[in-house]
């Protein structure tokens, strides 16, 4: 596994969840427009997928309306195009993950006071793409299993995955190395990771309070929390250099 040289310790948050969230806020203020662009790109891809799958959104709406609150009776797989749409959406979500990892890279560039560019969002397609996608698949399965057990277990599992994407990006690690290192550091500092993850997720979904519109501006915040937690426990990585 290739590691990057640690830089000076200035502007590195203390290893507390409060310091990590505060640092993430400082970073997010400088990159949030790029983060919103990443979400818009993801939304456009989703809009393209629906007509390709032949999903009948009218039938889906009618099923929801006619259920009258009893959603257990709905057979979503009987809705025309739903199976194909789910399959294509799953594949698209995996392939879009490197785009969201680009938010972490932008936070790093902003941290180093480097000039930001739209092309920075796509670094995950040039740096360790395959391992990022595999890690995304594995972490999605872990989270899905946790949700299947109940909502509560997933809240305790998510902190263990907090450092995965920064490790993949800055250390060029394999998916197994990223999982192992993220789990190890999080277990040794679990309460800090739990606090940072919980508050980071809470802030990320806070936009729902603004009739759902504000979530576009807040949901990428969690990716920046990953970066702030990473530099708190692993140090600031050397700036990655790519010709944009």
**Digit-coded pLDDT (tens) for 126-166:** 999 999 999 999 998 888 888 777 766 788 899 999 999 99
- Burial of 195 from C-beta contacts in 10 A (0-12 / 13-18 / 19+): middle
Which of 143 and 242 is assigned the larger pLDDT? Answer: 143
- pLDDT at residue 74 tops 90: no
Q: Write the pLDDT tens digit of every residue in 223-236.
A: 999 999 999 999 98
In a domain, 61, yes or no: no
- pLDDT at residue 193 tops 50: yes
What is the total count of domains within the chain?
1
In a domain, 82, yes or no: no
Distance, in Å, from the CA atom of 10 to the CA atom of 205, rounded to the nearest integer, reads 30
- pLDDT at residue 109 tops 50: yes
Distance, in Å, from the CA atom of 24 to the CA atom of 6, rounded to the nearest integer, reads 19
pLDDT above 70 covers what percent of the chain?
A: 73
Contact 169, 123 (CB under 8 A): yes
In a domain, 204, yes or no: yes
In a domain, 218, yes or no: yes
Contact 117, 244 (CB under 8 A): yes
> What pLDDT shows up at residue 207?
67
> Could you list the residue range(s) of the whole structural domain that residue 129 is in?
17-43+103-234
pLDDT above 90 covers what percent of the chain?
A: 55
Which of 48 and 176 is assigned the larger pLDDT? Answer: 176
- pLDDT at residue 52 tops 50: yes
Dihedral sign for Cα atoms in the order 85, 141, 186, 101: negative
Please name which of 107, 98, 108, 99 lies closest in space to residue 237, comparing C-alpha atoms: 108
35 falls in which pLDDT band (50, 70, 90)? very high
In a domain, 1, yes or no: no
In a domain, 36, yes or no: yes
In a domain, 155, yes or no: yes
In a domain, 183, yes or no: yes
Three-state secondary-structure class, residue 101? helix
């Amino acid at each position: 596994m290739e590691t990057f040289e640690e830089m000076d310790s200035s502007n590195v948050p203390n290893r507390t969840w409060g310091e990590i969230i505060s640092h993430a806020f400082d970073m997010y203020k400088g990159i949030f427009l790029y983060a919103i662009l990443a979400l818009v790109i993801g939304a456009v891809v989703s809009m393209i997928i629906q007509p390709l799958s032949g999903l009948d959104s009218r039938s889906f709406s009618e099923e929801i309306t006619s259920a009258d609150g009893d959603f257990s009776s709905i057979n979503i797989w009987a809705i025309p195009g739903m199976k194909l749409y789910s399959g294509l959406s799953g594949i698209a979500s995996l392939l879009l993950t490197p785009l969201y990892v680009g938010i972490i890279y932008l936070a790093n560039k902003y941290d180093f006071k480097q000039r930001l560019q739209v092309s920075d969002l796509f670094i995950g397609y040039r740096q360790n793409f395959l391992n990022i996608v595999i890690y995304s698949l594995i972490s999605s399965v872990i989270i899905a299993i946790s949700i299947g057990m109940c909502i509560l277990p997933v809240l305790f599992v998510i902190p263990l995955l907090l450092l995965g994407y920064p490790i993949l990006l800055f250390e060029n690690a394999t998916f197994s190395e990223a999982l192992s290192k993220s789990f190890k550091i999080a277990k040794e500092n679990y309460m800090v990771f739990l606090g940072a993850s919980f508050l980071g997720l809470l802030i990320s979904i806070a936009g729902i309070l603004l009739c759902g519109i504000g979530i576009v501006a807040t949901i990428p915040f969690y990716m920046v929390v990953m970066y702030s937690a990473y530099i708190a426990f692993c140090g600031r990585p050397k700036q990655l250099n790519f010709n944009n």
